[in-house]
Structure 1
Amino acid sequence: MSTIAKAASLAALLACAATIANATEGGTSVYPNGTENYMAGALPPPGLYGMVFGNHYEATQVNDGSGNNLNIPGFKVQADVVAGRLAWVPGTKVLGGDLVAHVIVPVVNLSVNVPGTSQSKSGVGDITTGLGLGYHHSPNLHSVVAVDFFLPTGAYNKTDLANIGKNHFALEPVYAVSYIDPNGFNGDLKFGYIFNSKNDATDYTSGNEFHFDYAAGWGVGNGWTLGVGGYYYQQVTEDSTSGVNNGKGSAMAIGPSVKYDSGKGWFGTLKVENEMNVKNRAQGSSVWLKLVFPL
């Protein structure tokens, strides 16, 4: 997933470029920015659903706090991620909404290159689980409110260059909304605000983070929707640790996005994102695939 794909511990780059202002430990986040696409806030009918997210991410530059490329020779982060998601809608009403529970398990293949060294890792990353409520305001307008929990299940070693886990818990309130028209405008927003706990291995607590994924397109018939998608990210509070010059990370991304709805209960989305206006983080591009199907 995009941020998991960026889960190379960029803190190691401090040894290569002391001018980097880290902005969240390792310059990464527990949430995979840009994951969501069309249908982000539309809860399906009661039942059990499978989802598969596929992501390829690649970055060859790291930017400082002013958004300037630090020009680190040979720097490269590349990751391929397949994440399975299981969502259960039991048909239970709570506060007027439909209850939903979910879990996401990512499998990551990650490689990191910096001047003089490189490292690769593969394995299960940090698992996400959560509870939410879905609302259907009209045939076209839908929303979800939820709380997600990020669990430190991915492999982590503070001396490693590449880490596929963050080694700390995090909590995220979420709000997502979708407007769906098979023959007209389609719009989606998924907002989140992340509260990070301390990484006990490094005594480092990353700052709070605000982000949203978005998609906007037009239904052209026969199940197809064409448009754009991406994300916006802004670190809100400073990190907490001693002896480190911390800045606040920020980034955004945009690119073409397409959805196909089979009309038989399953649909898929595909998008390409290019990051821009990136500060205190790696800058790269992603290809995202999402498939949703009833079980």
Structure 2
Amino acid sequence: MNTLPSLLAKPPKSPQLVWSMALLAAIALQAPFAHATEGALGRPIAGTSVLPNVGVVPPEPVTIVSLQQIYIDGSVGGSRQVPIAGTTAVGVDGKIALTLATMLKVWGGKGGWDFASGITLPYAWTEVTANLSSRYVGASQTDSASNLFDLYITPVVAGYHLSQTDHVALSFNFWAPTGRYDKNSLANTSLNNWTFVPQVAYTKYVPKYGLEFDAVAGLQFYTRNPATDYQNAPLFTLDVMGLKKFANGVGVGLVMGTVQQLGKDSGPTADRLDGFEGHDLSLGPIVTYDTVVAGKRPLSASVRWIPSVASTRRLKSTPSVMATATLAF
């Protein structure tokens, strides 16, 4: 199987180049959620934003569609107070299933840069159990919600080929509070704030050994939740992946991701919890597979298991699974 570095040297209309495009929905799939601040549930999930070829934007116009499924089952320890539903809870258990449908349009290039835009429509199911500490002392309550989550929009991705083996992509993304939110509910399908996410992605190939290295770094800036007066502090996220690809289309590798809070949260509830500042680290394996359907449409699939290995004031998840399928037209 040809590697992307050799394909990029071919004419833009090469069918093999279209093969590589299927993997580039990774650029728009940096949208998963969980592990932020308010409710210990927010936008980024450590280890989910990095995919194969994430730093590459193809020079040829193409449309890419992707479907992504994420499942998390985690908790914040029973002795830890968590801001949720406008109050605090002593311990939170949460289950989250996320389905994300993404469309990415690659427009072409100019001045050595290649450009794309994307949109992700997420659907969320969540179930939360919490021991409320302020309204009902010692009372455990369970709440669930299922609906469309906040829209994730990528106005622009700009990619640059540093060399045949080194590629970088810059993107600006944002979440719009389009989901349903009730400040008195434990479970919601929205964070009720705008979130702005500048990111940089990098891909490195070592064709001689069939190796690939990918990384995504980003910052997340939140507006204040007007319903609870809770202000999440900015977050720094970094996901890295090493992948070994074989001639039969199978790839195996390792993913590591971290979410680091930059400063303290603010607002009446956050102030009582000294800013509720935390971090998260996840590590796990990934398996990928690339093929062609209908004789010409490239299909890429992957599955990963990325449990939390260290977590402070975040939803620590042991089963954390993500599956992705991507098709290019």
Q: TM-score, normalised by structure 2?
A: 0.76
Partner residue of 1:199 out of 222, 225, 232: 225
How much does 1:189 deviate?
0.5
Partners in 2 of 1:228 and 1:103 — Cα distance?
27
SS of 2:71's partner is: strand
SS of 2:298's partner is: coil
Partners in 1 of 2:307 and 2:239 — Cα distance?
13
In the superposition, relative to structure 1, how do residues 3 and 46 fare at CA in structure 2: closer, same or farther (>3 Å)? closer
- Does the 8 A contact of 1:59 with 1:78 survive in 2? yes
In the superposition, relative to structure 1, how do residues 177 and 137 fare at CA in structure 2: closer, same or farther (>3 Å)? same
Match of 2:301 in 1: 268
SS of 1:85's partner is: strand
- Does the 8 A contact of 2:34 with 2:43 survive in 1? no
- Structure 2 unaligned runs (5+)? 1-28, 81-89, 132-139
- 1:62 aligns to 2:77 (yes or no): yes
Deviations along 1:248-284, one digit per CA (max 9) or x if unpaired, are 1101101111111215522112100110220011100
- 1:83 aligns to 2:100 (yes or no): yes
Partner residue of 2:191 out of 134, 157, 166: 166
Partner residue of 1:40 out of 40, 54, 59: 54
Partners in 2 of 1:100 and 1:5 — Cα distance?
22
In the superposition, relative to structure 1, how do residues 43 and 266 fare at CA in structure 2: closer, same or farther (>3 Å)? farther
- Does the 8 A contact of 1:58 with 1:79 survive in 2? yes
Deviations along 1:196-234, one digit per CA (max 9) or x if unpaired, are 111111111110100112211212321121111131110
Partners in 1 of 2:152 and 2:305 — Cα distance?
23
- Does the 8 A contact of 2:193 with 2:225 survive in 1? yes
Partners in 2 of 1:219 and 1:178 — Cα distance?
14
Partners in 1 of 2:315 and 2:225 — Cα distance?
21
Q: Which amino acid aligns with 1:254?
A: L
SS of 2:189's partner is: coil
Partners in 2 of 1:25 and 1:97 — Cα distance?
38
How much is the aligned-residue C-alpha RMSD, in angstroms? 2.4
Partners in 2 of 1:147 and 1:64 — Cα distance?
38
Partners in 1 of 2:251 and 2:176 — Cα distance?
34
Deviations along 1:146-184, one digit per CA (max 9) or x if unpaired, are 111111112111110111210000111100011245652
- Does the 8 A contact of 1:5 with 1:57 survive in 2? no
Deviations along 1:13-59, one digit per CA (max 9) or x if unpaired, are xxxxxxxxxx7222233234332322222224421110111111111
Match of 1:69 in 2: none
Identical pairs, percent: 24
Partner residue of 2:311 out of 278, 281, 284: 278
- Does the 8 A contact of 1:63 with 1:278 survive in 2? no
Q: TM-score, normalised by structure 1?
A: 0.84
Aligned residues: 272
- Does the 8 A contact of 2:48 with 2:239 survive in 1? yes
Which has the higher Rg, Structure 1 or Structure 2? Answer: 2
Partners in 2 of 1:203 and 1:113 — Cα distance?
23
- 1:110 aligns to 2:126 (yes or no): yes
Partners in 1 of 2:79 and 2:225 — Cα distance?
23
Higher helix share: 2
Partners in 1 of 2:93 and 2:78 — Cα distance?
13
Q: Which amino acid aligns with 1:62?
A: G
SS of 1:164's partner is: coil
- 1:246 aligns to 2:259 (yes or no): no
Q: Which amino acid aligns with 2:54?
A: A
Match of 2:85 in 1: none
How much does 1:5 deviate?
5.9
Q: Which amino acid aligns with 1:229?
A: V
Deviates more, 1:150-159 or 1:107-116: 107-116
Match of 2:150 in 1: 126
Q: Which amino acid aligns with 1:50?
A: V
Partner residue of 1:229 out of 234, 243, 255: 255
- Does the 8 A contact of 1:6 with 1:77 survive in 2? no
Partners in 1 of 2:121 and 2:45 — Cα distance?
12
Deviates more, 1:43-52 or 1:162-171: 43-52
Match of 1:290 in 2: 324
- Does the 8 A contact of 1:38 with 1:269 survive in 2? no
